[in-house]
Chains A and B, each alone.
Chain A
Amino acid sequence: MARKIIEKFEIEYLQVLGEDGRCDEKLMPKLSDEQIKKLYETMVLARTFDDKAFSMQRQGRIGTYIQAKGQEASQIGAIFAIEDKDWLFPMYRSIAALIARKQPMHKVLQYFGGDIKGLESPKEVNNFPISIPVGTQTLHAVGAAWAAKLKKDKNVSLAFVGEGGTSKADFLTGMNFAGVFQVPAVLICENNQYAISVPRKIQTYAETFAQKAIAFGFKGIQVDGNDVFAVYKVVKEAVDNARSGKGPTFIECYTYRLADHSTSDDALKYREKKEVEEWQKKEPIERLEKYMRSKKLLDDAYKEKTAKEAKEKVEKEVEIYEKLPMPNKEDTFKNMFEEMPFQLKEQYEEFMKNG
């Protein structure tokens, strides 16, 4: 007979780069100056695209758009830690991740402009179509990672889920399968504090989202999601572990959604301007700039050049998008099946005649 503690847990938190742009050199991940510049340039590019897409929505040039503003570090830092052959399972907000993952920006606009072809992955990478239902993609990431393990490929799956998504059964059961079968998956929760209007406290009574991994038998860790070095470091460790057969990791990126939930939302209905201003100070790009300036990796000229190049790239992609032809009316019938079954074929023929 006994009454005793049989299990205890601790949750690690990592921040490498402080809000003031100072960094703890001991914690700094291995990154060359070139890599740091590449990170910075990609983050600026994603932000520039985000601003542009937002204004295009306001001008009616695309439909509803979902901004990643403020989450560039957690998305792009993570993508820098995987390889082309790995599998990415994005959600609707993973636009910065997709841009870092070679998804052409005109494709992103094509999708939000109302053409499904925008979700098509570039050949050289494995980007899954973004998940529209919240949380369900967790299972696909775990399934693909499991398949990689069974086929003895050394590929890793990386999935993004919001903190709201962690309340879904699909997420929880995905975590469970990941643990039981020790699959090479890295599951990232971008805790941006809100699921539309619902604050983080209503998704879980637990102190962190990271600790959810403990119940499934594997490591959960919280990082400052606005610190691109911390995100990169933790995801890289997780990816290396997964690739070498050490199983899954769950990572909570503690961050903030600086924009409205979507272009159809007004966040001032449920959060104070002051709160947004406070988080603006912790914003990931400026923080990285401060660091780079102190390391002489960035000066005004380089900053201006980066901004200008990003703008040019985005404008070019907008041009490509706007020149895309209307999808063919019959496109919807294509790709439902490898071969159109009889019933569909009949409808297709009728549609082509009269539709």
Chain B
Amino acid sequence: MAKINIVEAVNSALAQEMEKDNDVIVMGEDVGVNGGVFRATDNLQKKFGPNRVIDTPLSEEGIVGTAIGMAAYGLKPVAEIQFSGFLFAAFDQLFSHAARIRWRSSNRYHVPLVVRTPGGGGVRAFELHCECPESYFAHMPGIKVVCPSTPYDTKGLLISAIRDPDPVIFLEPMRIYRAIKEEVPEKEYTIPLGKAKIAREGNDVTLVTYGAMAKYVLQAAEKIQDKVDAEVIDLRTIYPFDSEAIINSVKKTGRAVIVHEAPKTSGFGAEIIATINEKALLSLEAPIVRVTGYDTVLPMAKLENYHIPSEERIIKGISKVMSF
């Protein structure tokens, strides 16, 4: 088994699915000759040709809108949106069409479309190059949302997303694209959408997170392991999401901290808390704490580390729930 990073895991999943199924195609800005600005589609055009790895005109609604037509016709497009801040141009196409074509056509047409985009900050990137749009899409009936956090998960989840018959937003953790290397099977494998991973077992507090934050939450949990035995749940997908895993864990620990980069108000953490309240309120021994981005624009490089939950802020959050 080779040790690979997340970008390579994306590449490997794409190459294997394209090899296996002629209907899988890749499209987007700079994905062809250049192999993507992050190199996620490196060499794919050489292997599969310009009709299956397509450099498109620079138009996000154009990429997603034509991909919807292609998918309804019978292809399985994987569209890359170069940076997550530019996905909003395609919001209408996703909300008004991709998400509801199966429903509107009484199952005659469906949209097996994957929209990949790098999300999240922490790389000193330019404005609008590192947004966290996951909640908008988790709130959009008809769309699934995947937020992988490791190379192994990325490959298995992307293969599942490509094989899924419905539209999937695949939000890649840009900040740790190359930060983690791990052994990933060369053979194909899938990880089901909607199943969380217990990234660390523990008994004192449940830490719920997804995407790039999983790495920092794990680090925080390790750091304080002498004082607090934390369980870390990496959700992997936020629609659907594995409420059972969260509830089981909270019933055991009685405490929860939720960590995400996206702004706090109406962020996905609110949904997790509501779910805990519905199903495990009486097991709680402390109010739930959210460690999140603020309701501000994501600041530029110099201030971004104040905004994105740091190990320190996560540890403070844990201490707060443990103080009850």
Is A144 in the interface zone, CB < 8 Å from B? yes
In the bound complex, do residue B25 and residue A150 qualify as a contact, i.e. CB atoms below 8 Å apart? yes
Contacts of A148 in B (CB 8 A): 73
In the bound complex, do residue B74 and residue A136 qualify as a contact, i.e. CB atoms below 8 Å apart? no
Is A337 in the interface zone, CB < 8 Å from B? yes
Cα A104 to Cα B110 in complex, Å, equals 22
Interface of A is mostly: helix
Is B165 in the interface zone, CB < 8 Å from A? yes
Known A121-B108, A338-B102: A151·B75 in contact at CB below 8 Å: yes
In the bound complex, do residue A336 and residue B102 qualify as a contact, i.e. CB atoms below 8 Å apart? yes
In the bound complex, do residue B69 and residue A120 qualify as a contact, i.e. CB atoms below 8 Å apart? no
Is A31 in the interface zone, CB < 8 Å from B? no
Cα A128 to Cα B144 in complex, Å, equals 23
* Chain A residues packing against B (C-beta within 8 Å): 87, 116-117, 119-121, 128-129, 131-133, 136, 138-148, 150-151, 157, 169-170, 173-174, 176-177, 180, 334-338, 341-344
Known A150-B75, A173-B59: A129·B66 in contact at CB below 8 Å: no
Cα A147 to Cα B73 in complex, Å, equals 7
Is B104 in the interface zone, CB < 8 Å from A? yes
For the complex formed, measure the closest distance between the CB of B109 and the CB atoms of chain A, giving whole angstroms. 7
> What 3 A-B pairs have minimum CB-CB distances, sorted nearest first?
A143-B69, A139-B65, A341-B240
Is B118 in the interface zone, CB < 8 Å from A? no
The total number of A-B Cβ pairs within 8 Å is 140
Cα A196 to Cα B101 in complex, Å, equals 26
Is B105 in the interface zone, CB < 8 Å from A? yes
In the bound complex, do residue A343 and residue B243 qualify as a contact, i.e. CB atoms below 8 Å apart? yes
Cα A180 to Cα B66 in complex, Å, equals 13
Other than the given A116-B106, A140-B65, A151-B74, 16 more pairs (CB < 8 A) read: A116-B104, A128-B109, A129-B101, A129-B105, A136-B92, A136-B93, A144-B72, A150-B52, A150-B70, A151-B75, A157-B69, A170-B62, A174-B66, A341-B194, A342-B194, A343-B241
In the bound complex, do residue B75 and residue A117 qualify as a contact, i.e. CB atoms below 8 Å apart? no
For the complex formed, measure the closest distance between the CB of A182 and the CB atoms of chain B, giving whole angstroms. 12
For the complex formed, measure the closest distance between the CB of B323 and the CB atoms of chain A, giving whole angstroms. 32
Known A139-B61, A144-B70: A338·B103 in contact at CB below 8 Å: no
Contacts of A342 in B (CB 8 A): 194, 240-244
Contacts of B166 in A (CB 8 A): 337-338
Known A177-B56, A337-B142: A146·B102 in contact at CB below 8 Å: no
Known A133-B92, A133-B96, A143-B73: A120·B65 in contact at CB below 8 Å: no
In the bound complex, do residue A120 and residue B144 qualify as a contact, i.e. CB atoms below 8 Å apart? no
For the complex formed, measure the closest distance between the CB of B50 and the CB atoms of chain A, giving whole angstroms. 11
In the bound complex, do residue A121 and residue B105 qualify as a contact, i.e. CB atoms below 8 Å apart? yes
In the bound complex, do residue B72 and residue A128 qualify as a contact, i.e. CB atoms below 8 Å apart? yes
* Chain B residues packing against A (C-beta within 8 Å): 25, 51-52, 56-57, 59, 61-62, 65-75, 89, 92-93, 96-97, 101-110, 141-142, 144, 165-166, 193-194, 239-244
In the bound complex, do residue B93 and residue A177 qualify as a contact, i.e. CB atoms below 8 Å apart? no
In the bound complex, do residue A147 and residue B142 qualify as a contact, i.e. CB atoms below 8 Å apart? no
Contacts of B194 in A (CB 8 A): 341-342
The one of A116, A131, A146, A338 in contact with B165, judged by C-beta atoms closer than 8 angstroms, is A338
The one of A129, A147, A150 in contact with B104, judged by C-beta atoms closer than 8 angstroms, is A129
Cβ contacts A to B, 23 pairs, < 8 Å:
A116-B103, A129-B105, A136-B92, A138-B65, A139-B65, A140-B66, A140-B69, A140-B97, A143-B69, A144-B69, A144-B70, A147-B73, A169-B59, A170-B61, A174-B66, A177-B59, A177-B62, A335-B107, A337-B166, A338-B166, A342-B194, A343-B241, A343-B243
Contacts of A136 in B (CB 8 A): 65, 92-93, 96-97
Contacts of A344 in B (CB 8 A): 240
- Taking CB as reference atom, which chain A residue is nearest B141? A336
Cα A336 to Cα B70 in complex, Å, equals 19
Contacts of B165 in A (CB 8 A): 337-338
In the bound complex, do residue B144 and residue A139 qualify as a contact, i.e. CB atoms below 8 Å apart? no
The one of B56, B57, B70, B243 in contact with A147, judged by C-beta atoms closer than 8 angstroms, is B70
Contacts of A132 in B (CB 8 A): 96
Contacts of A142 in B (CB 8 A): 65-66, 69
Contacts of A117 in B (CB 8 A): 106
Cα A146 to Cα B57 in complex, Å, equals 14
- Taking CB as reference atom, which chain B residue is nearest A342? B240
For the complex formed, measure the closest distance between the CB of B164 and the CB atoms of chain A, giving whole angstroms. 8
For the complex formed, measure the closest distance between the CB of B201 and the CB atoms of chain A, giving whole angstroms. 23
For the complex formed, measure the closest distance between the CB of A328 and the CB atoms of chain B, giving whole angstroms. 13
In the bound complex, do residue B74 and residue A147 qualify as a contact, i.e. CB atoms below 8 Å apart? yes
For the complex formed, measure the closest distance between the CB of A137 and the CB atoms of chain B, giving whole angstroms. 8
Contacts of B110 in A (CB 8 A): 338
- Taking CB as reference atom, which chain B residue is nearest A120? B106
Contacts of A129 in B (CB 8 A): 101, 104-105, 109
- Taking CB as reference atom, which chain B residue is nearest A142? B66
Cα A136 to Cα B57 in complex, Å, equals 17
Cα A143 to Cα B242 in complex, Å, equals 34
The one of A141, A180, A341, A343 in contact with B57, judged by C-beta atoms closer than 8 angstroms, is A180
Cα A341 to Cα B193 in complex, Å, equals 9
Cα A341 to Cα B97 in complex, Å, equals 19
- Taking CB as reference atom, which chain B residue is nearest A122? B108
In the bound complex, do residue B57 and residue A139 qualify as a contact, i.e. CB atoms below 8 Å apart? no
For the complex formed, measure the closest distance between the CB of A134 and the CB atoms of chain B, giving whole angstroms. 11
In the bound complex, do residue B240 and residue A176 qualify as a contact, i.e. CB atoms below 8 Å apart? no
Known A139-B69, A143-B69, A147-B75: A119·B62 in contact at CB below 8 Å: no
Contacts of A151 in B (CB 8 A): 73-75
In the bound complex, do residue B62 and residue A139 qualify as a contact, i.e. CB atoms below 8 Å apart? yes
With most chain A CB atoms within 10 A of its CB, the pick from B66, B72, B109, B110 is B66
In the bound complex, do residue B66 and residue A177 qualify as a contact, i.e. CB atoms below 8 Å apart? yes
Contacts of A341 in B (CB 8 A): 144, 193-194, 239-240
